[in-house]
Amino acid sequence: MAAVSIRGLGEVPLIARLARRLGGAGKGRGVLAGIGDDAAVLRSSGGAPLLLACDMLVEGVHFTRRLPARWIGWKALAVNLSDIAAMAGTPRWAVVSLGLPPSTPVRFVDGLYDGLGACARRFATAIVGGDTVRAPQVVVDVAILGTAGPRGPVLRRGARPGDALFVTGRLGGSLASGRHARFTPRVREAQALAARLPVHAMMDLSDGLASDLWQLARASRAALRVEAARLPVSRAGKTVYHALMDGEDFELLFAVPAWAAARVPTRLGACPVTRIGEVRARGARVELQTRHGRIQTLIPSGFRHF
């Protein structure tokens, strides 16, 4: 019998398996939230809880060298900032592990660091260390450390029946338009929302709205319904289908109680904020109300990692 490969397993079951496999090693003193949210929430001695996350970009999978090195560097940090934004936190420090083929032009590495540096300065995050190793292709892995906001971190698991669902920005076509590497992580938008509203749950959109709605539904054990007519489709995304299925939007998906829905601004600076649906009941499920009023169960079929 052939050995089972992870291709046959899929990412969500793989991560669940790894978390089970770690057992007690996945928990520990000071762990307020661990595997399964955008960032881990950790209780250090005194002060705000810490937020810790990491994201790996691999050449040929997440980017090619046709993308300018500067944007690869920007993206490598920005995807991590997006994880901190998803918790309504403040990014503080990052470390960068860089795998490089020996043949890599110095100019490419310079460009990559210029992009990392530009993104770091823009979001007041210090790059404080890292590791540089040989690899068959370029691999950039950033780990980020931040702090939770004054109202504490916003987790994925807090959505409740009756909540209204919102997204920032416009969805779809991120890979086609190049936005996936040049996007602005919603750090300030998330902080502004959490400061003025009781945000029950929040996450960033990385695998595609349909897939990420399922993540929120599972974490909150809640049935979500979104309306096709309300989805903010980006110009590059063109259709509701792409707004639902395309990955790497790096916008925010969040839930607020119904009474607060009217207080959610329609814009935060230049960033639109759109009500897309609601939380209807207990039990993980995701439904789409079509433009013709039909209710369809959405399949979590966004970006497949394996």
Q: Which of residues 24-83 bind a copy of itself (CB under 8 A)?
A: 24-31, 34-37, 39-40, 42, 44-48, 50, 52-58, 60-62
Spatial contact of 101 and 134, defined as CB atoms under 8 Å apart? yes
Does 97 bind a copy of itself (CB under 8 A)? Our answer is: yes
Among 70, 75, 89, 99, interactor with a copy of itself by CB under 8 A = 99
Does 96 bind a copy of itself (CB under 8 A)? Our answer is: yes
Does 11 bind a copy of itself (CB under 8 A)? Our answer is: yes
Does 271 bind a copy of itself (CB under 8 A)? Our answer is: no
Q: Least separation, in Å, of the C-beta of 167 and a copy of itself?
A: 23
61 or 281: CB nearest a copy of itself? 61
101 or 269: CB nearest a copy of itself? 101
Q: Least separation, in Å, of the C-beta of 119 and a copy of itself?
A: 8
Q: Least separation, in Å, of the C-beta of 231 and a copy of itself?
A: 27
120 or 223: CB nearest a copy of itself? 120
Hey, how many other C-beta atoms are within 10 angstroms of the C-beta on 273? 20
Among 16, 65, 68, 93, interactor with a copy of itself by CB under 8 A = 93
Q: Could you give the 3-state DSSP secondary structure of residue 191?
A: helix
The helix (run of H) or strand (run of E) holding residue 241 is helix 240-245
The residue count for binding a copy of itself (CB under 8 A) is 90
Residues 107-146 contacting a copy of itself, CB under 8 A = 107, 109-110, 113-114, 116-118, 120-121, 124-137, 139, 141, 143, 145
Single out the residue of 35, 27, 149, 33 nearest to residue 84, CA to CA. Answer: 149
Does 3 bind a copy of itself (CB under 8 A)? Our answer is: yes
Q: What is the CA radius of gyration of the chain?
A: 19
Does 269 bind a copy of itself (CB under 8 A)? Our answer is: no
Instruction: Enumerate the β-bridge partners of residue 106.
Output: none
Q: Least separation, in Å, of the C-beta of 286 and a copy of itself?
A: 22
The helix (run of H) or strand (run of E) holding residue 274 is strand 271-282
The helix (run of H) or strand (run of E) holding residue 57 is strand 50-58
What are the start-end ranges of the E strands in 171-270? 201-204, 222-227, 252-256, 267-268
Q: Least separation, in Å, of the C-beta of 288 and a copy of itself?
A: 27
Q: Least separation, in Å, of the C-beta of 250 and a copy of itself?
A: 14
The helix (run of H) or strand (run of E) holding residue 147 is strand 139-147
What residues contact residue 5 under an 8 Å CB cut-off, 6+ apart? none
Does 9 bind a copy of itself (CB under 8 A)? Our answer is: yes
Among 16, 65, 68, 95, interactor with a copy of itself by CB under 8 A = 95
Q: How far is CA 204 from the centre of its chain?
A: 3
Residues 207-266 contacting a copy of itself, CB under 8 A = none
Distances (CA, A) of 17 to 211, 261, 303: 19, 37, 20
131 or 296: CB nearest a copy of itself? 131
Q: Dihedrals φ, ψ of 163, to 5°?
A: -65, 150
Single out the residue of 176, 160, 190 nearest to residue 269, CA to CA. Answer: 190
Q: Token digits for 81?
A: 């900032």
